[in-house]
Structure 1
Amino acid sequence: MENKHQSLTGQLNINIPLQATEKVAADQHDLYVLVKECIAQSRSAQKKLYDLYSPAAYGIIKRYMFGNEDAAKEILNDSFYKIFTKLDQYSFQGAFEGWIRRIVVNTVTDYLRKNLKNDQVTKEVQPEDGFTDSGSLGNLSFKELMQVVQTLPEAQLAVFNLFVFENYPHKEIAGLLDITENNSRWYLNDARRRLKDKINLLMQQ
């Protein structure tokens, strides 16, 4: 667990794949049939696909919309509307889970771009301050760490999620959220500073 903590807070190179709740796509033929039936407007096939992939999709959305259930449900509905309308564009060349994930994340960022209060950040971007106190991190469970992450302000939380969990570079984050690359770097550094302070405080309790 210590290595995961260091990866999350120090190196920031976590990659968490979206997984279905059942092994639906283990066989490529089964996936092909399911997708084709959805394209043909089979309600039962669409329900099956939704039931299989919506829990994981909702989990991704909740990382960005913590405490805002209404917005999370709205984004989930919008995501699956896009998934069903774009299924004919899926080429079966890459992982279906990754294809769904990209749509979900893009839908989240569409919402954030419209709703984030984007104050222009004029502060100088400081060098990234990774968390190096592995002893403290080793005493903190991953669940506790994620609870701390969810306390970040919305802009910092959005940038942190995109950088850490989606592995997006600052240039892409800036485009997705309609902010500057400098904004993105500042929000990430501020998020890491806030997390470090909160974790240190938690360790003192």
Structure 2
Amino acid sequence: MEQCKAGHSNSQYELYSRYVDAMYNVGFRFLGNAEDAEDIVQDSFVDAFKNLDSFKYESSFGAWLKRIVINKCINYLKAKRIPVVPMDAHEFHLTDEEPVEAEATDLDKVKKGISRLPDGYREIINLYLIEGYDHVEIAEILGISTSTSKSQYHRAKKKLLEIINAM
């Protein structure tokens, strides 16, 4: 890492090689488009290498870079004006959800289903289920309320189940 901070291109290439595939997968899960994911990943690496001095070893480089990729994906989706629509509390009552039985659902169907979700729903599903953020963190990342994050997740999950059941 110190060699990367010093501008050694071989060390930067080694970090790039180590993380590019994982970061592409993150970008693709959010954007659903290979070209957009590639662009976001490239931009993320450029920004990461330009800002290595701000990397403080509070997390792994991979976690720091992943956060950059996720933020760039979210900003890209916001620029495309993909809305996350708030719901009034009276429209939808959130209750404890019954878990989806993973063994009854084919993983390929789930992946295909997620890829068919509208961008806003796919964003919430990715942040919550795949990236492991809680609703407070998602609300902060997306600039929405925690209750909106929860309601959007519930709607996204319902839509995902509809898509999977229709396959």
TM-score of the two chains, using structure 2 as the length reference: 0.83
Which residue is 1:110 aligned to? 75
The residue type equivalent to 1:55 in the other structure is D
Cα distance in 1 between the residues matched to 2:71 and 2:129: 16
Shift of 1:166: 2.4
Matches within 5 A, 1:111-130: 111-118=76-83, 120-123=85-88, 124-128=91-95, 130=97
Unpaired segments ≥5 residues, structure 1: 1-34
Which residue is 2:3 aligned to? 37
The residue type equivalent to 1:70 in the other structure is E
Cα distance in 1 between the residues matched to 2:30 and 2:100: 26
Per the alignment, in what secondary structure is the counterpart of residue 116 of structure 2? coil
**Structure 1 residues 147 and 115, CA, compared in 2 at 3 Å: closer, same or farther?**
same
1:58 aligns with 2:24: yes
**Structure 1 residues 182 and 133, CA, compared in 2 at 3 Å: closer, same or farther?**
closer
Tell me, yes or no, if the aligned pair for 1:64 and 1:161 is still in contact at 8 Å.
yes
**Structure 1 residues 131 and 147, CA, compared in 2 at 3 Å: closer, same or farther?**
farther
* Residues 159-203 of structure 1: per-residue CA shift (max 9 Å, x gap): 11111122223233223223333432222111111122223333x
Which residue is 1:173 aligned to? 138
Structure 1 residues 68-77 or 172-181, which shifts more? Answer: 172-181
Per the alignment, in what secondary structure is the counterpart of residue 150 of structure 1? helix
Percent identity, aligned pairs only?
27
**Higher RCO, 1 or 2 (CA under 8 Å, sep at least 6)?**
1
1:156 aligns with 2:121: yes
Which residue is 1:99 aligned to? 64
Cα distance in 2 between the residues matched to 1:45 and 1:178: 36
Aligned-pair Cα RMSD in Å: 2.3
Tell me, yes or no, if the aligned pair for 1:129 and 1:189 is still in contact at 8 Å.
no
Cα distance in 1 between the residues matched to 2:100 and 2:127: 24
**Structure 1 residues 62 and 189, CA, compared in 2 at 3 Å: closer, same or farther?**
same
TM-score of the two chains, using structure 1 as the length reference: 0.69
